[in-house]
Amino acid sequence: MARHAIHLQREIDLLKKKILSLGADVEESVRRSVRALATRDSALALRVIDHDIEIDQSEVDVEEECLKILALHQPVANDLRLIIAILKINNDLERIADLSVNIAERAVYLATQDKIDMPFDFPGMADRVQSMLKHSLDALVNADSALARDVCAADDEVDDMNREVYGRVEAAILENPGQLNRLINLLSASRYLERAADHATNIAEDVIYLVEGVIIRHQGPDSDKPPNPAG
């Protein structure tokens, strides 16, 4: 029995390393795609797009490792909760990487066009989203549910920024209809950032579930509703 427990712990430790490695890879993909768009660097954008194959493979590897542990060890209690959380976080990280590719594709297009002034604070929004992703992964590493709740609260700010973007881009299109396609691509980049923030929030919610055994989805981080214990 002791040998089984030691083997299980070794595989869980390896799984943690894999998910954190994937997280770092996805963070870098987001950074590069944002920088590529802001600096009109199509070569950097293409590297983001090409690297997504490796991220996809890492996501598959983590999922297979989770399923192997579930099948061979039938973990319970905290170990089971960890595997479930990692499975969900793994999916959200892969989706964030896909959104980075979408931003990179917008960057490739915009690099071929005449430069226009951004009608909104794209770098500021990108910084906020990247901070959310970093803090959600830090919360995972440190089992810090308080930090995870901060990430959930920050999502409202990004939503507000995205709504403001729509108004600013609409006004810019009316003022400069010849820039329609370029402005729509900038708007798409903003939308992709907002969706990445949603996935970072999902990760934070899974950290809260992992640490506290409480499901806060659909309730918000500071909901007055009674918590939903996950066992």
- pLDDT tens string 172-214: 999 999 999 999 999 999 999 999 999 999 999 999 999 998 8
pLDDT value at position 137? Answer: 94
Using an 8 Å Cβ cutoff, are 39 and 27 in contact? no
The residue written with tokens 């996501």 in the block is 59
Question: Residue 196 and residue 136: Cα distance in Å, rounded?
Answer: 12
pLDDT value at position 60? Answer: 97
The residue written with tokens 């594709």 in the block is 105
- Mean residue pLDDT of the chain comes to 91
Question: Residue 111 and residue 66: Cα distance in Å, rounded?
Answer: 41
What percent of the chain lies above the pLDDT cut of 70? 93
DSSP codes joined into one string, the chain: -HHHHHHHHHHHHHHHHHHHHHHHHHHHHHHHHHHHHHHT-HHHHHHHHHHHHHHHHHHHHHHHHHHHHHHHH---HHHHHHHHHHHHHHHHHHHHHHHHHHHHHHHHHHHTS-----SS-HHHHHHHHHHHHHHHHHHHHHT-HHHHHHHHHHHHHHHHHHHHHHHHHHHHHHH-GGGHHHHHHHHHHHHHHHHHHHHHHHHHHHHHHHHH-EE-TTT-TT-SSPPEE--
pLDDT value at position 119? Answer: 87
Q: How confident is the model over 12-60, as pLDDT tens digits?
A: 999 999 999 999 999 999 999 999 999 999 999 999 999 999 999 999 9
Residue 155 token pair: 């999502």
In this prediction, residue 144 has a pLDDT band, given cuts at 50, 70 and 90, of very high
Residue 196 token pair: 């990445």
pTM of the model: 0.90
Among 160, 164, 148, residue whose Cα is nearest residue 217 = 148
Instruction: Using the predicted structure, report yes or no on whether residue 91 has a pLDDT greater than 50.
Output: yes
pLDDT value at position 6? Answer: 82
Instruction: Using the predicted structure, report yes or no on whether residue 218 has a pLDDT greater than 90.
Output: no
Using an 8 Å Cβ cutoff, are 139 and 204 in contact? yes
pLDDT value at position 11? Answer: 92
pLDDT value at position 29? Answer: 97
Output Rg (C-alpha) for the chain, integer angstroms.
20
Using an 8 Å Cβ cutoff, are 205 and 148 in contact? yes
Domains and CATH numbers, the chain: 2-229 (1.20.58.220)
